[in-house]
Amino acid sequence: MELPIELKLAMENQLVGIKHNELMEDAKTLSKKYRTESGHGKRLLTESKEAVAYSVVRMPATYGAVYSALNYTLDLVDCDIKSLLDVGAGTGAASWAADSLVNLHSVVCLERESAMREIGQKMMSQGTNILKNAKWVEYDLTAGDIPEKADLVIASYVLNELNDSERIKAADKLWKAANKIALIIEPGTPVGYSHLKKIREYLLSKGAHVVAPCPHENSCPLEKEDWCHFTCRVQRSKLHRQLKEGEAPYEDEKFAYLAVAREKYRNAAARILRHPIVGKGRITLDVCAVDGVKKVNIFKRDGDLYKKARKSQCGDEI
């Protein structure tokens, strides 16, 4: 997956005047903070230089995860989405992703940290007209009700930063702010999945309808030691490789997500949970379906279904 050229340029423009060694140090410090201090409600990023490092290190993967999750969601819904509310927007990755997929008329970004808002606004000034005119509002998800509403509400990599007592309250606020769809993206880890599983149960009790990734609204059929997550591959710039100390020209971002809606839409017939195993004349898929998690063998004699399975990847509908 390639980032929009406007986003690439916006990211590069934030680096003017910043020394490479300083950027490397800020990136390392920031990475350590998010790795060791998330989940306790702490302020992890407060300075402009940290926000710049964040935009280079985390925006590509966040963009990819939101783009993938939203794309899967849009495949299943039949509604007109005109407005976006990006909660805990950071430097705006989710808004850039949504703007690439939806014909939006308005974007509102809610973000607690002034450093993030400042960098996010600067970057969006180099985007589409919708992004240029995005409204940025100072807001703390733990402090009070969300002051805005929109057709689509997205919260990406936000709830994992809260403690357990705050997380369900925050999910409730996101749901109340969504006129049509709420999309929550979390890290593709056992912990991230466990957060979404609890949120899923809560929102179903409040009348929400699951759109994706689940093909049903039953209890999750996965075994206790298993978790639901997907992967998107994002191309890396040379600087990104240096800051992440990696050699590969791409980054694989593992993410988990939950999309819920006010109305009942079509669910996927089945969702691929693991990377397809391709054998001689046979493809084996681990899928989640209405009747539970199971292995499905698709043979060359199955024709079009086999061709579709050969091109499929983890996360796809089958």
pLDDT digits (tens, 9 = 90+) for 162-221: 988 899 999 999 999 999 999 999 999 999 999 999 999 999 999 999 999 999 999 999
pLDDT score of 41 more than 60? no
In the prediction, which pLDDT does 27 show? 67
Helix ranges, the chain (H): 5-13, 20-37, 48-57, 59-74, 93-101, 114-124, 129-132, 164-177, 190-205, 238-243, 304-311
What would the pLDDT profile of 124-169 be if each residue is shown by its tens digit?
Answer: 999 999 999 999 999 999 998 999 999 999 999 999 989 888 999 9
Report residue 178 as tokens.
């969504």
Mean pLDDT over each residue of the chain, to the nearest integer: 89
pLDDT score of 26 more than 60? yes
Q: What is the CATH number of domain 5-261?
A: 3.40.50.150
In the prediction, which pLDDT does 208 show? 98
Average pLDDT over residues 241-261: 81
Could you tell me if residue 9 is left (phi over 0), alpha (psi between -120 and 50 degrees) or otherwise beta? Answer: alpha
In the prediction, which pLDDT does 1 show? 85
Torsion of CA 282, 284, 288, 294, to 10 degrees: 100
Q: Which of 36-45, 155-164, 221-230 has the lowest mean pLDDT?
A: 36-45
Average pLDDT over residues 305-317: 92
Length reported for the chain: 318
CA angle 254, 201, 276 (to 5 degrees): 35
In the prediction, which pLDDT does 53 show? 81
Tell me how far apart the alpha carbons of residues 208 and 201 are, in angstroms, rounded to a whole number: 10
Share of the chain above pLDDT 70, in %: 88
pLDDT score of 290 more than 80? yes
pLDDT score of 34 more than 80? no
What would the pLDDT profile of 94-104 be if each residue is shown by its tens digit?
Answer: 999 999 999 99
CATH 3.40.50.150 residue window(s) in the chain: 5-261
What is the residue-wise DSSP string for 68-108? Answer: HHHHHHHTT------EEEEET-TTTHHHHHHHHHS--SEEE
Any bridge partners for residue 256, and if so which? Answer: 186
- Within 10 angstroms of residue 128's Cβ, the number of other Cβ atoms is 16
In the prediction, which pLDDT does 16 show? 73
User: Please, which pLDDT band fits residue 223 given cuts at 50, 70 and 90?
Assistant: confident
pTM equals: 0.91
pLDDT score of 83 more than 90? yes
Q: Is the peptide bond before 249 cis (omega within 30 degrees of 0)?
A: no
Tell me how far apart the alpha carbons of residues 218 and 292 are, in angstroms, rounded to a whole number: 9
In the prediction, which pLDDT does 213 show? 97
Average pLDDT over residues 252-257: 95
pLDDT score of 270 more than 70? yes
pLDDT score of 238 more than 90? no
pLDDT, greater one: 240 or 109: 109
